[in-house]
Amino acid sequence: MKDTTLILLAAGSSSRFGLPVKKQWLYLGDRPLWVRVAEAFERTAEFARIILSAERGERNYMSRFADYTFVDGGSSRQESLTKALEAVETPWALVGDIARCCVDEALVKRVLKRKGEAACIAPALQAVDTVYEDGAPVDRSRIRLIQTPQLSRTEILRRALAEAETFTDESSAIHALGEKVLLIKGSPRAHKLTHLEDLRRLDCLEAPSRENFTGFGLDIHAFEAGKEMRLGGITIDAPMGFKAHSDGDVAIHALIDALLGAAGMGDIGEHFPDTDPQWKDADSMELLDAVLGRIRGCGLEPRHADLTILAQTPRLGPYKEPIRRRLAKTLGLPPARVNIKATTAEKMGFVGRKEGVAVHAVATLGIYDWRSAL
């Protein structure tokens, strides 16, 4: 199918879904749903290119999972599709929604087989329920419910989407241009994952894997006299704080890097560059919350964390327990799943000379089990 590009729309915010994780990031087995959908399409035909329309902040992360072309999504389906079409170089574009996650491979083949017969080929179902319009029943044999994926002539689709009107799919946009739309037999399996209850109805959804992922983080900060010392999310009684662009909470920074490492999301500097004035004097606990939000949104959750704080001064013994409780609460874990250790450096090196503090952190993430929400 070197004359056809596959576009999968995965930029949705899942606002109707009601879970911390976005539906494209629900794990089925050991891979997120969007990867499984793309792989199912790949099995049905060879495409010139596979383009995924993704939320801007997730594009980089998605590109770590698979070797597709990722483009920034827009604020609506139509805008996302328009942007994705800019990367299409073939005469035909097959457009699918990640939300139709139980890909019926026979249906995809049926759509592709009719290539050339119309400007748009769309699968459709007959209405099986009685249909009313404005309070009166209508002849349901004339009703068709349109599904995806739809195969469109790229040039015609580009022109159709450029119209000012808002369309809910390609077939209606192309129909509005006066071009031919061919409706073919759809699939009752191709239901959309829209609401939480749909997770119960869709039969293709494999349970998430029980794998864990471990990450390591290390951070070092020098002391700065006269600054409040923040460590592990609490205030320490000390005559100095840490020299930093943010509040300098070296323990939280190490923990953030451990969490990002476990998620495969890079490092703290990529997420909060210290050249960005937005993070000047930032409360590190807010950075941690932001990172946890992103991790949870992408289908993972904390399971355990262990930190070792290397400090010759101040004495941290009395603070270990408050830090442990504070971090457990923020991570959403029972206190026993967080451990804090403190050690001196036996007066050796920069820690021993009381120039600063180093923190090592290890964090474990698990895959969010969406079945617990059903």
Q: Smallest distance from the beta carbon of 252 to Mg ion, in angstroms?
A: 8
- Decide whether 31 or 253 has the Cβ nearer to Mg ion: 253
- Decide whether 77 or 253 has the Cβ nearer to Mg ion: 253
In order, the DSSP letters of 232-269 are: TTEEE--SEEE-SSS---HHHHHHHHHHHHHHT---HH
Q: Smallest distance from the beta carbon of 253 to Mg ion, in angstroms?
A: 4
Beta strand segments in the chain, E:
4-9, 27-28, 31-32, 49-54, 69-72, 92-97, 120-126, 131-133, 136-138, 144-146, 150-153, 181-185, 212-225, 229-231, 234-236, 240-242, 300-310, 338-343, 356-367
User: Could you tell me which of 256, 217, 365 has the C-alpha nearest to residue 304?
Assistant: 365
Q: Smallest distance from the beta carbon of 291 to Mg ion, in angstroms?
A: 13
Q: Smallest distance from the beta carbon of 175 to Mg ion, in angstroms?
A: 56
- Decide whether 179 or 219 has the Cβ nearer to Mg ion: 219
Q: What is the C-alpha separation between 353 and 312, in angstroms, rounded?
A: 8
Q: Which residues bind Mg ion (CB under 5 A)?
A: 219, 253
Q: Smallest distance from the beta carbon of 255 to Mg ion, in angstroms?
A: 11
Q: Smallest distance from the beta carbon of 245 to Mg ion, in angstroms?
A: 8
Residue nearest Mg ion by beta-carbon distance:
253
Q: Count other Cβ atoms within 10 Å, centred on residue 48.
A: 16
- Decide whether 35 or 251 has the Cβ nearer to Mg ion: 251
Q: Are strands 131-133 and 69-72 parallel, antiparallel or unpaired?
A: unpaired
Q: Count other Cβ atoms within 10 Å, centred on residue 111.
A: 25
- Decide whether 151 or 351 has the Cβ nearer to Mg ion: 351
- Decide whether 96 or 248 has the Cβ nearer to Mg ion: 248
